[in-house]
Structure 1
Amino acid sequence: MGCTGKFVAVVDDDASVARSTARLLHAAGIAAETFASGDAFLARMQAAAAYCPACVILDVCMPGTSGLEVQRRLAGLRLPLIFITAHEWPEARDRALAGGAVGYLRKPFDARQLIGMVRRVMQ
């Protein structure tokens, strides 16, 4: 599987969602770094070749570069992606899963389900 970092990147334009998701992960013993946009996350990935999270939790709908576009740009890395969204868009879900996403959750999501997904991909 792609990257083997010991942390998760959380990418969400809603700062409160990003912070609460990172706190949830930290409470479960999982390190997390947050990004306010797909562009900020991609810039970090490009700035340092060694930067490689074990998993990325992505909001589907963000200004600038959407979560689905981030997925497209990262396709060659085989980096596990978990999508979260507040919207009911079956076509976005289908596209994310067809692109290799390991999960797709609606906000508010079940914390245990998210932690379980993250732990599985980090093993």
Structure 2
Amino acid sequence: MSKVKPFVAVVDDDESVRRAIKRLLRSVGLSADTFKSGDEFLDMFDAIPAYRPDCIVLDIQMPGLNGLEVQRRLAGSGIPVIFITAHDEIGIREQALAAGAAAYLRKPFDDEILIRVVRAAIHPPP
């Protein structure tokens, strides 16, 4: 019986960021779905109960729902959230981490670090 490949949801309003992260994740054997907004992701998440990514890479600042609001709505789902942002603000970082974010990365981030935190979020140490 084959094991299902883990997949990551990438939510960012910048198409080039979504494309780059999806390519990066594919290069290490992870699949990814991309969404241009928190609203678009939550529509899919709410509409299809079986749709549960192993991890979410989530931008903080987006039109519509921001990343912190998406994280709040996912509370209790058990899905790890990794925040990415171009506008690092200490208060926002503290809020995200206090609410359970697995990581908080400032753009531009190192590819290896993103891969490491995604893998750690999907397969946390015992």
Is TM > 0.5 for Structure 1 vs Structure 2? yes
Any idea what the Cα deviations from partners look like across 1:36-92, whole Å, max 9, x if unmatched? 000000000001000000000000000000000000000011210000000121111
**What does 1:1-123 align with in structure 2 at a 5 Å threshold?**
6-123=6-123
Letter aligned with residue 71 of structure 1: Q
Tell me, in whole angstroms, the C-alpha distance in 1 between the residues paired with 2:58 and 2:122: 16
Letter aligned with residue 35 of structure 1: F
* Number of residue-to-residue matches in the alignment: 120
Unaligned runs of 5+ in 2: none
Letter aligned with residue 113 of structure 1: I
Letter aligned with residue 13 of structure 2: D
Give every structure 1 segment of 4 or more consecutive aligned residues whose post-TM-superposition deviation is greater than 3 Å. none
Which is greater in Rg?
A: 2
Deviation at 1:5, TM superposition (A): 7.5
Tell me, in whole angstroms, the C-alpha distance in 2 between the residues paired with 1:88 and 1:75: 22
Would you say the 8 A contact 1:45–1:52 is kept in 2? yes
Tell me, in whole angstroms, the C-alpha distance in 2 between the residues paired with 1:25 and 1:6: 10
Sort the Cα spacing of 1:5 and 1:66 in 2 relative to 1 into closer, same or farther, 3 A: farther
TM-score relative to the length of structure 2: 0.92
Unaligned runs of 5+ in 1: none
Would you say the 8 A contact 1:10–1:18 is kept in 2? yes
